[in-house]
Amino acid sequence: MTSSVSTRSRNTSLAIALLTSGYLFGGVFVGIAVGLSVGSPNSGAFHMTRNAVAGVIALACMIAASAMWARDLGRRAGAADLRRAGWAGALSFGPVALAVGLVLTWLEQRIVERREGPALPIHVVYGMLFVSASLVVAAVSAWALGVGLRSSVSERRRLTLTTGLAAGGAYLVVYIVMELAGWQVGAPGAEQRATMLVVTGLGCLGAALAGGAAIGTILFRAGHTNPISNQQPSVESNSS
């Protein structure tokens, strides 16, 4: 009984939310911090090489963190193949976040710098792009996690939809709250206090917490600690 209660306490929505934010947001934070220490804002071949190395380091940190995250969740869920779970995590969050980041950069250049998009304020464009981006990254990562844990098709669908909406919704709430508090992206003086960086960091943290809570609710619903749908039947059930 004590062991069962302890397992349930480790697998609550709050616990999985904290675990997810610790691994994924922590991986992003460490990757960016290390990358910034290696990269260079100057021009030239040498500095371009430094920036390329910084990008590889940042991506490697994110991949390692997401792999450990998926393995930890697999261990808590009773998955038999933790290596599969780890690979699913490694090939999802980091690469998807990088791809989405490149798309955001391209869209920002076209819409904001070249004025090729709709005539919208910068903070509105930011909200639309980054909220959508957080939804996509969370949804794809949750889907890959379900594949890695060999969850049923219906459970993978719930993981994808619920996690994506939870993460995107949390980012939207953070974005609105920060705007109401005077932290508007693109406003006069915003660059001096790194408004975009602060809002993005808090938004990503909120998305990780909300997405993790959604994952915990689905994987460990009703106190079940072994929700993987295709676990091998027990000896007792075979004998019966």
Confidence band of 225 (pLDDT split at 50, 70, 90): very low
The stretch 232-239 carries a mean pLDDT of 40
Residues 193-215 pLDDT 10s = 889 999 999 999 999 999 999 99
Confidence band of 7 (pLDDT split at 50, 70, 90): low
Q: Would you say residue 118 has pLDDT above 90?
A: no
User: In this predicted model, which residue has the larger pLDDT, 105 or 115?
Assistant: 105
- Of 144, 117, 139, 132, the residue nearest 171 (C-alpha): 132
Q: Would you say residue 166 has pLDDT above 90?
A: yes
Percent over 90 (pLDDT), the chain: 56
Q: Would you say residue 8 has pLDDT above 90?
A: no
User: In this predicted model, which residue has the larger pLDDT, 92 or 121?
Assistant: 92
| pLDDT at residue number 234 | 38
The residue extents of the domains of the chain are 2-232
Q: Would you say residue 12 has pLDDT above 60?
A: yes
Confidence band of 50 (pLDDT split at 50, 70, 90): confident
| pLDDT at residue number 9 | 58
DSSP letters of 226-237? Answer: ---TTPPPPHHH
Angle between helices 26-38 and 45-77 (to 10 degrees): 160
Confidence band of 36 (pLDDT split at 50, 70, 90): confident
Q: Would you say residue 230 has pLDDT above 50?
A: no
Exposure letters 197-218 (e unless 16+ CB within 10 A, then b) = eebbbbbbbbbbbbbbbbbbbb
Which helix (H) or strand (E) is 14 found in, with range? helix 13-20
Q: Would you say residue 237 has pLDDT above 50?
A: no
| pLDDT at residue number 142 | 96
The stretch 134-151 carries a mean pLDDT of 95
